[in-house]
Structure formats: C-alpha cells, structure tokens
Structure 1
C-alpha cells in the first residue's frame, strides 16, 4: 500500500507589527559645570533613556570600563539594573533629559520634549571591532 504524504504548507508570515509608541515622563536634569557627579539608579527590568538637551555630558555606567560623551541631541539607553554617573563635561553647563520605563518589546522611543535628536552612533572604542556590547548598554541613536 502506497500512501502519499502531503507536506503541511508553512503558516503565512504575519506582517510586522508597527512599533508601539511609549508615553514617557521625561525628567530634566540641569548639570552645572564643575559640580559633583550626579547618580541615576535604575532597577532590573527598567530601560533608562538619556538625551542631551544642551551642552556636552559625560556618562559612565558602574561596571563598564567605557565612558560616553554625548552632545546636544544625542541619546543613549541602558538596561537595568544600572547605576549611571553623569556630569557636564568641561566649563559649560549642560542639561540632560532622562526617562525610565519597564522593558516593552517593539517599543518606539519618542524624543524628549523640546529636543531635536540627531542620529548618532555612540560606541565605546573597545567594542567597535564587532564585539557585542556588555549588559547595560543597549543602543545609541
């Protein structure tokens, strides 16, 4: 007895879902020049979004060797738990906008209010050779 086996056709691919815009509560952090470093703590499961509104900001993340220097309009995000240390870089004041939210798959991160983000890639030099970023750093744009 011969039986024919008809393969089951693959399920049709679903169209990609559009990104879900998040409603974020942005906090404005003035960073006077030559003042003490300020600390921002974020819990496990939180996403920390940073965007420079004015000036140049130095950012470092506890546990990472790299420092980040962001100009007005640049953004950087981290996954928690992280402790970030931020300050104005140099002798000019800076202003940092930051927000936190719980991780949401497919989320679209809106810009901070009153800021015009620029597409900029901020990658620590030791990771520029194609190695994956460590836990903590997500993206920069």
Structure 2
C-alpha cells in the first residue's frame, strides 16, 4: 500500500527522541512530531509513548524526498471519544426557583426603598427653590 496524506494506519514505534517519535508504517519510517502526540501539551514524550508500542497514526504528508509526517492526535476519532452531556430538561430545580423568587422580591423591595429615599432627598432640596418664569 502506498502512503498518502489522510490515510489512517497502524504502526510501531521504533525510536523516541526529544522532538518526536519514529513510527514504522508499511515498511517505511515516518516521524510523529511531539506536537502531534496528544491534544494536550506534551512536555516529555516518554510519558505518552514507549518503543515497540502499536499506535494508530494519520499520514499528514509525504514529501518528494520520502519524508513521512505522521500524527497520533489526528488519528483519534473524536466523535467516539467525546460523549455529549445529557441534560434532563424536564427535571425542575424547585430550590433555585424559590431562591430566585425570594431574591427578586427582596431586590424589588430594596429598590423601591432606595427610590423613595432619593425622591425625598430631591424634594427637600427643591422646596426652597422657586423657578424663575420670567426671562
């Protein structure tokens, strides 16, 4: 089978370096760069891979010189590995509803009191002041 970009194959890790892992696929060796090992940051590649491990890889590119660029993280089927969160929309949380109602009524009461205080303050300031109607 000829290696072509986009193919997903199984290979064997033959060597690990600080910058990546060399994986043998179909009798040829390609490089999985350290940035293509996992979705999260990889500080030490040895924490994720060991020599002779079988890994699923995606062929990213094959250049004219025969260099093969591979990815482990892109070979993972994310649709299978990520489960959607199930939400029960029928279930009502009555405790939050009561708390919300209490908070709302308390807010309205406080707001009305503050409004009345502001109105009294403005009325007391304008009592001694008469509008000048003549210009």
Mark yes or no: TM-score above 0.5: no
Q: Which has the higher helix share?
A: 2
TM band (smaller chain)? under 0.3
Q: Which has the higher strand share?
A: 1
Larger radius of gyration: 2
TM-score normalised according to structure 1 size:
0.20
